[in-house]
Amino acid sequence: MTAHADPASPATRRWSALDTAAGGLALDLALYAAATVFAGITAATSTLPPHRAWGAVATIGYALATLAAATQLLARRRAPGTPLAGVPARWAVTGLTWATTALLPVVLQSVQRAAGRTDRAQEEVVVVEHAGTRLAEHGTPYLGPDAIAALPPGEQLLGYTPYQPGMALFGLPRAATDVWWTDARVWFAVATALALAALVTTLRSTTDEPDSPRRGGALLRAVQAATVLPVSALTLATGGDDLPVLALCLLALALAAADRPGRAGLAVGAAGTLKLFALPVAIVLICWAAARRAGTRTALGALGLPVLALLPVLLVDSDALVENVLRFPLGHGLVTSPAQSPFPGHLIAETLPAGRVVAAALLVAVGLAIAVRLLRRPPRTAAATATICGYGLLAAILLMPSTRFGYLLYPAALLLLAPALALAESPARDTGRPTFPPTARREPAERRTPEA
């Protein structure tokens, strides 16, 4: 996953050999087969009704994908070079798999929920839709601490909206009318699809050979991580709020690889208006841009958009904003977060004396180590930026006292995007072209084109 950093490293060679075995089909087959097992186990054993419903549908989708990948692999062995086993055919299988394991479950659960099944959505869907209703009626998606305290004890958790104000936009359709297509997950899926389509278009535009097997395969693997990887498909089908955030962060990194620091800042800034999880990506991306003398342009969008989104709700009810966005995520709300995945940080916090202090200290130590790394050696490529973000978020997720298994989709997608970014940036390195933004290129004035 770190081919951009050291193409000759043993880890890079092992990953490249695994990723490209049989033209990428061997790993496709392993992914879909493992996903079939995962979905089947989820359908049979999960204690969460939306997860069981997803598993029942996704098992069939992944099984069909496994069959398709096996057929492609056999066709490649019998007739090397056959289009059936090429990258375009793998893209087709990935698209159909996403449709059957993520989009179809979204539609089915939304329809069933509209018909009265209250067990066909996770709490975050309800929270976002309630936030949209409050935004439409009161100008803020947040309830104040007094209003939350007045709710029945069993409803106080759903009274919190631990997201940035932009997330409430996905709840506005349900505020207008109560039908299946106003389910927040439908709009999460739409936003995710648009951002990923922009990512693919952006990275394909960086080379004259967008359909080469190596480049196409690397980009496909990155898209698979955000779509058909079980943790991503399950998250979209049952909750979904993380997928637009992730897709916008990935798009920002793709725009960075395409030498568009201003647009990269806007994309990660848009993600930051939805969820604070985008903030670490924004900070590392600003460091990347600063090393290329474009830090201000990137920071304007990366930090400016979230601030602009906060201002209106801050003016309406500042205490409600602080209660939902700061106190509750930090564990100081009226109720505690149910995020209790058994990662090291949670286990340390629950089992050791002063465990929460120890877990917090470890988390701070990791943050300081990353900060020192950024100050001493800021990333100079989008691929390096994605790698730092991926490993940094992975460490944070593992060490946070309260977290969710589903958050692993962030580091997985970021790390799998890095090789595609490295290949997108390689034409400039291969031809000796400078990789500074257009305003810093040493070209005649008449040849300079401003960055859009």
Task: Decide: 273 and 245 in contact? Cβ < 8 Å.
Answer: no
- Give the per-residue pLDDT at 427: 58
- For the chain, which residues make up each domain, given as ranges? 10-425
∠331-276-370 over CA atoms, to 5°? 95
The conformation of residue 258, written as its DSSP 8-state character, comes to T
* Cα–Cα distance list, 42 to 37, 38, 51, 394 (Å): 9, 6, 7, 24
Taking the model in full, what pTM does it have?
0.90
The conformation of residue 132, written as its DSSP 8-state character, comes to H
- Give the per-residue pLDDT at 81: 84
- Give the per-residue pLDDT at 331: 72
The conformation of residue 326, written as its DSSP 8-state character, comes to I
∠137-141-145 over CA atoms, to 5°? 110
- Give the per-residue pLDDT at 399: 87
Q: Which two tokens stand for residue 122?
A: 């996770």
The CA distance from 224 to 176, in Å, is: 34
- Give the per-residue pLDDT at 210: 67
The conformation of residue 50, written as its DSSP 8-state character, comes to H
- Give the per-residue pLDDT at 345: 78
Q: Tell me the Ramachandran region of residue 280: left when phi exceeds 0, alpha when psi lies from -120 to 50, beta otherwise.
A: alpha
- Give the per-residue pLDDT at 269: 98
Residue 177 buriedness (CB in 10 A; 0-12 / 13-18 / 19+): exposed
Q: Which two tokens stand for residue 387?
A: 């790698």
Residues 6+ away with beta carbon under 8 Å from 172: 132, 135, 136
Instruction: Report the chain's C-alpha Rg in angstroms.
Output: 22
The CA distance from 71 to 64, in Å, is: 11
Low-confidence ranges of the chain (pLDDT < 50): 1-5, 8, 430-452
Query: Side chain identity at 31, as an amino acid letter?
Result: L
Task: Decide: 346 and 168 in contact? Cβ < 8 Å.
Answer: no
Task: Decide: 240 and 106 in contact? Cβ < 8 Å.
Answer: yes
Query: Side chain identity at 332, as an amino acid letter?
Result: H
- Give the per-residue pLDDT at 340: 67
The CA distance from 335 to 423, in Å, is: 47
The CA distance from 197 to 188, in Å, is: 14
* Cα–Cα distance list, 117 to 50, 52, 53, 100, 198 (Å): 10, 14, 12, 21, 35
